[in-house]
Amino acid sequence: MRRARLATVLAVVGILLFGGAASALRDAPPTMAPRFITDDEGRALLLRGLNTASSAKSTPDGLPILDESEVEREYRDMGTNVVRFLLQWRTVEPEPGAYDDTYLAKVAERVEWYGDRGYHVILDMHQDLYGGAITPEGNVGNGAPDWATEMEGLPVGKQDQWEFYYLEPGVIRAFDNFWGTGDAATDLMRRYADAWGHVAEYFADDDTVLGYDLMNEPWGGSVQATAFENGPLAALYETCIDRIRRVDENGWIFLEPQAVGVNWGLPSSLPVFDDPRPGEDRIVFAPHLYPLPMDLGGHYDGDGKAPVDTTVGWWRDNVLRVAQRWNAPVFLGEFGLDATQPGGLDFVDKIADIADTAGMGWAYWSSDPGPWGPYGGNGERQPLVSTLDRAYPRAIAGTPTLIEYDADALRLSVAFTSVDGVTAPTEIYLPDVFGNGGTVDCGACTVSFDPDTRILSVTTDPTVGEHSIVVTTR
Q: Which is nearer to ligand 9MR, 125 or 455 (CB)?
A: 125
Q: Which is nearer to ligand 9MR, 142 or 318 (CB)?
A: 142
Among 11, 162, 164, 184, binds ligand 9MR (CB under 6 A): 162
**Of 357, 358, 338, 334, which Cα lies nearest the Cα of 347?**
338
Q: Closest distance between ligand 9MR and the C-beta of residue 162, in Å?
A: 4
Among 124, 128, 194, 248, binds ligand 9MR (CB under 6 A): 128
Which of positions 269-328 make contact with ligand 9MR (CB under 6 A)? 288
Q: Closest distance between ligand 9MR and the C-beta of residue 201, in Å?
A: 26
Q: Which is nearer to ligand 9MR, 15 or 260 (CB)?
A: 260
Report how far residue 403's alpha carbon sits from residue 355's, in angstroms, rounded to the nearest whole number: 9
Q: Which is nearer to ligand 9MR, 39 or 334 (CB)?
A: 334
Report how far residue 34's alpha carbon sits from residue 328's, in angstroms, rounded to the nearest whole number: 6
Report how far residue 308's alpha carbon sits from residue 315's, in angstroms, rounded to the nearest whole number: 10
Q: Which is nearer to ligand 9MR, 162 or 164 (CB)?
A: 162
Q: Closest distance between ligand 9MR and the C-beta of residue 54, in Å?
A: 5
Strands 392-396 and 44-45: antiparallel
Among 212, 365, 375, 416, binds ligand 9MR (CB under 6 A): 365
Scored b (16 or more CB within 10 A) or e, 198-219 reads bbbbbbeebebbbbbbbbbbbb
Q: Which is nearer to ligand 9MR, 150 or 368 (CB)?
A: 368
Q: Is 367 near ligand 9MR (CB under 6 A)?
A: no
Q: Closest distance between ligand 9MR and the C-beta of residue 225, in Å?
A: 19
Q: Which residues have C-beta within 8 Å of that of residue 137, sequence separation ≥ 6?
A: none
Among 38, 52, 54, 80, binds ligand 9MR (CB under 6 A): 54
Q: Which residues have C-beta within 8 Å of that of residue 129, sequence separation ≥ 6?
A: 140, 141, 142, 143, 162, 165, 166, 171
Q: Which is nearer to ligand 9MR, 55 or 459 (CB)?
A: 55
Among 217, 229, 317, 389, binds ligand 9MR (CB under 6 A): 217
Q: Closest distance between ligand 9MR and the C-beta of residue 57, in Å?
A: 5
**Binding pattern to ligand 9MR, positions 136-155, x when CB under 6 A?**
------x-------------
The count of other CB atoms within 10 Å of the CB of residue 470 is: 15
Give 401: exposed, middle or buried? Use CB within 10 Å, 0-12, 13-18, 19+: middle
Report how far residue 143's alpha carbon sits from residue 119's, in angstroms, rounded to the nearest whole number: 25
Kindly write down the DSSP assignment for every residue of 125-188, as one continuous string.
EE-BSSBGGGSTT--S-BSB-GGG---TT------SSGGGGGGSHHHHHHHHHHHT-SSS---H
Report how far residue 60's alpha carbon sits from residue 259's, in angstroms, rounded to the nearest whole number: 26
Q: How many residues bind ligand 9MR (CB under 6 A)?
A: 10
Q: Closest distance between ligand 9MR and the C-beta of residue 333, in Å?
A: 9
* Helix (H/G/I), strand (E/B), else coil: 440: strand
* Helix (H/G/I), strand (E/B), else coil: 124: strand
Q: Which is nearer to ligand 9MR, 74 or 128 (CB)?
A: 128
Q: Which is nearer to ligand 9MR, 197 or 287 (CB)?
A: 287
Residue 258 is classified by DSSP as: -
Q: Closest distance between ligand 9MR and the C-beta of residue 260, in Å?
A: 11
Q: Closest distance between ligand 9MR and the C-beta of residue 400, in Å?
A: 28
Strands 455-460 and 445-450: antiparallel
Q: Which is nearer to ligand 9MR, 93 or 334 (CB)?
A: 334
Residue nearest to ligand 9MR (CB): 128
Interaction site with ligand 9MR (CB under 6 A): 54, 57, 128, 142, 162, 216-217, 288, 334, 365
